[in-house]
Homo-oligomer: A and B are copies of this chain.
Amino acid sequence: MLSKKTKYAINALVYIAKNIDEQPISVRRISEEQNISLKFLESILTELKNARVLNSKKGKYGGYSLNGTPEEIHMAKIVRLFDGAIALLPCVTYQYYERCEECIDEETCGIRQVAMEIRNETVKRLKAATLADIIKREKKLKK
């Protein structure tokens, strides 16, 4: 399951992308429109800024804006940033690799192979799920 942090982050990003011509957008506005606690969202957007997904502008009429186009920012990046590895097993990820302590032979582990195939498929889909793609899907669903 995605954590609330990840969900809030994606929702916020989609919101900014939808209102891209009104950037920068304040945390307050997003928190009100998206039903997210102000302070919690603040810490999330700070993380997104530190990860260079967002740019920030301080002071009055400041706020956050996308660092990149809605076609470039995708769910895989956001999920990894907040929830860590996408895979079902720690031995099946490049970015967060760790051996399963109880494992007897990683090379011939059947569970691992299944997990690897699922990871490949999932990562592919999460990478395809860019902000632009999500917005496009929503437009289609509204018809």
Query: B34, A104: Cβ atoms under 8 Å?
Result: yes
Contact with B along A23-59 (1 / 0, CB 8 A): 0000000000011100000000000000000000000
**What band does the interface of chain A fall in when counting residues whose beta carbon is under 8 Å from B?**
35 or more
| Majority SS at the chain A contact face | helix
Query: B137, A113: Cβ atoms under 8 Å?
Result: yes
Query: B138, A102: Cβ atoms under 8 Å?
Result: no
Copy tally for this chain in the complex stands at: 2
Least Cβ distance of A96 to chain B in Å? 9
Question: Which residues in window 89-122 of A have CB below 8 A to B?
Answer: 89-90, 100-102, 104, 107-111, 113-115, 117-118, 121-122
Residues of B within 8 A of A100 (CB): 7
Q: How far is the CA of A110 from the CA of B130 in the complex (A)?
A: 10
Question: Which residues in window 63-113 of A have CB below 8 A to B?
Answer: 75, 84-85, 87-90, 100-102, 104, 107-111, 113
Closest to A8 in B: B102
Residues of B within 8 A of A102 (CB): 4, 7-8, 11, 34-36
A binding-site residues for B, Cβ under 8 Å: 1-2, 4, 7-8, 10-11, 14, 34-36, 75, 84-85, 87-90, 100-102, 104, 107-111, 113-115, 117-118, 121-122, 125-126, 129, 133-138, 141-142
